[in-house]
Structure 1
Amino acid sequence: MKNNYLKSGPIFLAFLCMGFGDVVGPLTSQLQAEYQLSNFMAGLVTFMGFIMFGLLSVPMGLYQDRKGKKTVLILGMIAALAGLTLPILGDFSSFGLLLGSLLLLGTGATILQVAGNPIMRDVSPEGKYSRNLSFGQFTKAIGSLSGALLPLLAAKYWGLDWKILFPIYSSILLVAIIYLWFVKIEEKKNESETPASFKSVLSLLKNPYVFFMVLSIFLYVGAEVSMSAKLPNFLEHKFNFDIKELGLWGTLFFFLALMTGRFLGGIILNWMSPQRFLKITSLVAIIGILGLFIASNSIIGFAAILVIGLGFANIFPLVFSITIDAMPERSNEISGLMVTAIIGGAIVPVIFGAVADIFSLMAGFIVTLVCIGYILVLSFYKRK
């Protein structure tokens, strides 16, 4: 079948909204500077944004198996919208309310990931799922990028700050909910005669291939969130960038590279196999991380960040789509497991922060190097 842009349009818009959950990364360095937090405590900020991935993903995957992906996608948008409107109604007066807002936003992002990744297969032409998922992740990267870009523009041109994100994100989510509500999507039914259950989901982890791939998602997301949160600190540590005025450029540049890499990945996957591309992109990511250690000036530092972003860009959609294409009849269960593994975004940054506090900031980046190194080794794994 050919791409049906009427049906795929709201799905790509849902991916844009997924990216809003990544705002916890850019906010981390800002809150760390404002509240004088340790690296470990700053890691707990991302913990609030990602903890629901570990708690909700499998239950929502099972619910989705019965009620459908479109229904779950709309529920995710509503949860995110509720989270974004809370601090607006409270006039941003309570930090506790803000944490609750991020928790709800993370809840919405969790549900959107559970439904969005497999429903993209339903609106994709045969054999083009990996390509469209990379384009979807490219769209998500635009949402992620906005978390660093909009506060910079707001401060420079309008005298505002990060609070501007909340009304903008709320408006986009409202449009996305209305758009998706009126579009009919034919979902591919689960070919398995037995409905998905907690038992069937857990049984998948006994499959070494699935287990290794789920672990790679855990490590990748943890590495990505660590990068988006700590690159401003890297620029401050190595090149004396003011973290409030210039530090966000590290995160912004990283997300720009991610966005570019995902767009290019969607093109490359028209002629290169996902398995081969995973090997190449993992190696590029490792080269970029090593570049942080040898950067002697800010130009080399930003070049390293560029290479990291390009390398990181397609790891998530490649691992996700390769696994689902291997077992399409278990797509809802695999999606639940994969999105559960996004809890790595809550745990790995805390480990990064602990290592940075005990040794040094640059030692923390070794944590991300180990994460991507595992994925590079996994890319050579032959499924039996």
Structure 2
Amino acid sequence: MATPASSVAQANLGGSQGNFRFALISLTSLFFMWGFITSLNDILIPHLKNIFDLSYTQAMLIQFCFFGAYFVMSLPSGALVHRLGYKMGVVIGLLTAAAGALLFIPAASFELYPLFLGALFVMASGITLLQVSANPYVTILGSAKTASSRLNLTQAFNSLGTTVAPAFGALLILAASEPVLEAASSTASEIETVKVPYLIIAGALILLAIIFAVLKLPRLSDNTQTDTSEDVSQGQFTSAWQYSHLVLGAVAIFMYVGGEVAIGSFLINFLGEPDIADLAETDAAHYVAYYWGGAMVGRFIGSALMTKLNPAKLLAFNAVGSVLLILIATFGTGQVAMVSILLVGLCNSIMFPTIFSLAVRGLGAHTSQGSGILCLAIVGGAIVPLIQGVAADAVGLQLAFIVPAVCYLYIVFYGLKGSEIKALN
């Protein structure tokens, strides 16, 4: 039975499911772009590591600066979206990310590693705003009961971006730099290979910003929900921080993003180990696509399964699979270790969208704040790879994969227990 609040929500949405579909189709382009940009870091890390002769710890500063932006910018982004709306958040986010991509040009020209890190921070600040805007937009753009399925579907296109990016980077960055290395040319010539890819990215982001600025999308607010049965706020809570399933969900996002990014960041170097596959960087880069491609395939499958299975239990099941596969890769050798670490991508598939949708259930008017908190937790992508980098320098690259295994153990807990909707005492 429809409540007065849900009736108002339907009026705000214009009652048009066609508008829903059009909005979802439009949003898939955003999910694709930020997946593409994020995955391209996996190519950038070994490339800049060789050029600037960096340790694993120093190379992981790339992910530290990129994902550190989520920690710095998520709450301001949530406030901006609350003030200006989801659509304007998307437009501003796209333009900010484009500015960061353009900063790669002077970074390469001046051969400054710190400037590369600054460019990544600016780019990620824009993507943070996109995350804060688009993720909750998808969850409330339709029935709350199918939010997990809907977000998994759009996240599948995020994974399409992460799958395509390694091949793009291998062709335009790593392969382009090989003739330079063979000719023993200058560092400047090697760095030049990053200019064209990021110039292309900047152009695409600006084009998307223009498109979204003129698109007519449904106007949604935090209170726009088509199903309020799980709204546990009842007007008595003043902050999203008062919900345990959100707070524990933020920790789960921290662990998931940290584990996923850490594995992707070290994958090229891992596959280059003599005891694993002994692959050259350009060849290993193509296998990175299998890691992210597994997530893409799994999200399309997960989107269908979520309509029939309990999302929390499916999350726990996938997390258990991730732990087992990482342990096989950590203590195994050859093709067994190689295939095992790549298959973690398939287990990763449903995790982010499922954790996100489970964590924002029932927040009502606190949805945009909750989204900001969850995106704040994406800083795990900055911290966990850095910890694994320190571990790799200390005990070796292969054993360092114990770090992401611990992250996935927490996600098992969240799926089984921590995702239950309730308020903190």
Q: TM-score, normalised by structure 1?
A: 0.89
1:9 aligns with 2:25: yes
> Share of identical aligned residues, percent?
26
Partner of 1:379, secondary structure, is helix
- Deviation per residue, 1:247-294 (Å, 9 max, x gap): 323422211112111222112212222122212221222222122124
**Cα root mean square deviation, aligned:** 2.4
Q: Which has the larger radius of gyration?
A: 2
- 1:216-227 to structure 2, matched below 5 A, reads 216-227=252-263
Aligned to 2:98: 81
Aligned to 2:116: 98
CA contact (8 A) 1:151 1:164 kept: no
**Aligned positions, number:** 375
CA distance in 2, matches of 1:190, 1:259: 29
Question: Which AA in structure 2 matches 1:118?
Answer: P
Aligned to 1:372: 408
* Larger displacement relative to structure 2 (133-142 or 86-95): 86-95
Query: Which segments of 5 or more consecutive residues in structure 2 lack a partner in the other structure?
Result: 1-15, 180-191, 225-236
Match of 2:58 among 38, 41, 50: 41
- 1:1-384 to structure 2, matched below 5 A, reads 2=17, 4-22=20-38, 23-88=40-105, 92-95=109-112, 96-125=114-143, 127-154=145-172, 161-191=193-223, 203-237=239-273, 238-239=275-276, 241-298=278-335, 300-381=336-417, 382-384=420-422
- Deviation per residue, 1:120-175 (Å, 9 max, x gap): 13434553221121122111122223331102233659979544421331232123
Q: CA deviation at 1:209?
A: 2.5
Are the structure 2 counterparts of residues 163 and 149 from structure 1 closer, same or farther at C-alpha, using a change threshold of 3 Å? farther
CA distance in 2, matches of 1:103, 1:92: 18
* Larger displacement relative to structure 2 (50-59 or 258-267): 258-267
Question: Which AA in structure 2 matches 1:19?
Answer: G
CA distance in 2, matches of 1:39, 1:78: 32
CA contact (8 A) 1:147 1:165 kept: no
CA contact (8 A) 2:43 2:170 kept: no
Partner of 1:11, secondary structure, is helix
* Larger displacement relative to structure 2 (106-115 or 250-259): 250-259
CA contact (8 A) 1:226 1:348 kept: yes
Q: CA deviation at 1:206?
A: 4.4
CA distance in 2, matches of 1:243, 1:325: 45
Are the structure 2 counterparts of residues 73 and 43 from structure 1 closer, same or farther at C-alpha, using a change threshold of 3 Å? same
Question: Which AA in structure 2 matches 1:129?
Answer: A
Partner of 2:281, secondary structure, is coil
CA distance in 2, matches of 1:351, 1:79: 29
Q: TM-score, normalised by structure 2?
A: 0.81
* Larger displacement relative to structure 2 (169-178 or 314-323): 169-178
* Larger displacement relative to structure 2 (264-273 or 87-96): 87-96
Aligned to 2:3: none
Are the structure 2 counterparts of residues 243 and 326 from structure 1 closer, same or farther at C-alpha, using a change threshold of 3 Å? farther
CA distance in 2, matches of 1:157, 1:47: 26
Are the structure 2 counterparts of residues 7 and 109 from structure 1 closer, same or farther at C-alpha, using a change threshold of 3 Å? same
CA distance in 1, matches of 2:253, 2:107: 36
Q: CA deviation at 1:242?
A: 4.1
Question: Which AA in structure 2 matches 1:10?
Answer: S
